[in-house]
């Protein structure tokens, strides 16, 4: 894929690129109020969802085409570029007609090759930047495939948005970051700008700042952050939206690393290691929680905590698997002995609770 040198970064020469605005355009007044506050603090790209893909029927599904007029007003009255999500050929046509500057494809759409192709067909030969969110499921090939469909339709000002991956189990994040996936995307397509969406990864206001910093540490090109003048009253994603004032504070405190990381850069590689460590700790935490649940089960069924036979079998299997992955088998045994020791300690602790 040969991306045009006239990429998103050149189009909006701001580092990092910040895209901000509400999850959804709710009313004309809400849209304009938020846009004006953001324009005043120098934000150059305004986002607002016009058509909202909702998990269940009956929720607020976006205002629809009427809100495109509000975005046009934002454009003329603030001078900001305006961006919205498209999921069908009809959405694309309406946005092009309304003069929307930048489009993004949502995570549910990028997971569906038929929908992606329909959007790509509607964009055939158009000169508009398009950002593709990662599919809801952690499938890098599907993400790249969606980008390729647009590229084949003649769209060369492409970018990706990392918004995390859905998982059945809710942990601290609404969508698991799985940083290694956008990192691998960068390795495969080094010219493709990648923007992080801490709002949909975190699902919670408190997590926006740390996730945004982590993205900067990993050399992401920008951030897309849901911003609302009264977040708690938002019609969608109320927990994760932040005020323009808080967005300003976050941006002022961001530590921006060297503008460019080559994939061989030492700092870049170290930050990848940090991201792996972070995921390892999360996974260990999850494992310990399951251990505690097992502890309670054993207590209820009068079983002993230590089931030596099962543990010996597991250790052999893991040592073998570790060997196949290029690691020393003794190293794997040592690690898992330590993990097992902590698991037993946690099981005993959960059993001794009243």
Binding site for ligand PEP (CB under 6 A): 23, 49, 106-107, 133, 163, 200
Closer residue to Mn ion in complex, CB, 23/195: 23
Cβ–Cβ < 8 Å for 212, 222:
no
Q: Which residue is nearest to ligand PEP (CB)?
A: 106
149 binds, among Mn ion, ligand PEP, none (CB under 5 to 8 A by kind): none
**Helices 266-300 & 329-352 angle (0-180, nearest 10):** 50
Closer residue to ligand PEP in complex, CB, 215/332: 215
215 binds, among Mn ion, ligand PEP, none (CB under 5 to 8 A by kind): none
Closer residue to Mn ion in complex, CB, 23/107: 23
67 binds, among Mn ion, ligand PEP, none (CB under 5 to 8 A by kind): none
Residue 260, Cα to own-chain centre: how many angstroms?
21
Closer residue to Mn ion in complex, CB, 246/336: 246
Site for Mn ion in 283-322 (CB under 5 A): none
Closer residue to ligand PEP in complex, CB, 4/204: 204
Name which of 53, 75, 73, 56 is nearest 64 in CA terms.
53
133 binds, among ligand PEP, Mn ion, none (CB under 5 to 8 A by kind): ligand PEP
Q: Is 237 in the site for Mn ion (CB under 5 A)?
A: yes
Give the binding range for Mn ion (CB under 5 A) out of 6-14, 21-29, 67-75, 337-345: 21-29
Helices (H), 79-230: 89-98, 107-110, 113-123, 140-152, 180-188, 198-202, 205-217
Closer residue to ligand PEP in complex, CB, 60/311: 60
User: Is the CA virtual torsion 266, 158, 73, 52 positive or negative?
Assistant: negative
Site for Mn ion in 92-121 (CB under 5 A): none
Dist CA 256 CA 224 (whole Å): 16
End-to-end Cα spacing for the chain: 61
Dist CA 350 CA 55 (whole Å): 36
SS3 state of residue 195:
strand
107 binds, among Mn ion, ligand PEP, none (CB under 5 to 8 A by kind): ligand PEP
Q: Which residue is nearest to Mn ion (CB)?
A: 23
Dist CA 204 CA 164 (whole Å): 13
Binding site for Mn ion (CB under 5 A): 23, 237
């Amino acid at each position: 894929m040969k991306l045009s040198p006239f990429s998103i970064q050149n189009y909006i020469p701001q580092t990092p690129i910040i895209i901000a605005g509400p999850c959804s355009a709710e009313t004309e007044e809400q849209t304009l109020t938020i846009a004006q506050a953001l324009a005043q603090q120098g934000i150059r790209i305004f986002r607002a969802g016009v058509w909202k893909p909702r998990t269940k029927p009956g929720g607020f599904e976006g205002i629809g085409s009427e809100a495109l007029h509000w975005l046009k007003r934002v454009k003329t009255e603030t001078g900001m570029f305006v961006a919205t999500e498209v999921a069908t050929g009809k959405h694309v046509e309406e946005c092009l007609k309304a003069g929307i500057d930048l489009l993004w494809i949502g995570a549910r759409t990028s997971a569906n090759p038929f929908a992606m192709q329909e959007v790509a067909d509607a964009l055939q030969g158009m000169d508009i930047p398009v950002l593709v969110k990662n599919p809801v499921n952690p499938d890098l090939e599907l993400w790249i495939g969606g980008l390729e469909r647009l590229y084949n339709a003649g769209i060369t000002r492409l970018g990706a948005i990392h918004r995390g991956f859905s998982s059945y189990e809710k942990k601290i994040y609404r969508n698991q970051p799985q940083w290694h996936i956008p990192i691998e995307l960068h390795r495969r397509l080094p010219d493709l700008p990648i923007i992080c969406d801490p709002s949909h990864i975190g699902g919670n206001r408190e997590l926006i700042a740390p996730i945004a910093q982590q993205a900067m540490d990993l050399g992401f090109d920008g951030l897309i952050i849901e911003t609302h003048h009264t977040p708690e009253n938002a019609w969608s994603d109320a927990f994760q939206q932040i005020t323009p004032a808080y967005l300003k504070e976050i941006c002022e405190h961001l530590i921006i690393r060297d503008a460019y990381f080559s994939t061989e850069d030492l700092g870049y590689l170290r930050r990848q290691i940090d991201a792996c460590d972070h995921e390892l700790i999360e996974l260990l935490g999850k494992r310990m929680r399951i251990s505690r649940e097992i502890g309670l089960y054993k207590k209820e069924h009068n079983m002993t905590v230590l089931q030596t036979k099962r543990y010996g079998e597991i250790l052999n299997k893991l040592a073998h698997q570790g060997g196949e992955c290029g690691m020393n088998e003794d190293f794997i045994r040592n690690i898992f002995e330590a993990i097992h020791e902590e698991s037993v300690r946690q099981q005993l602790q959960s059993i001794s609770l009243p």
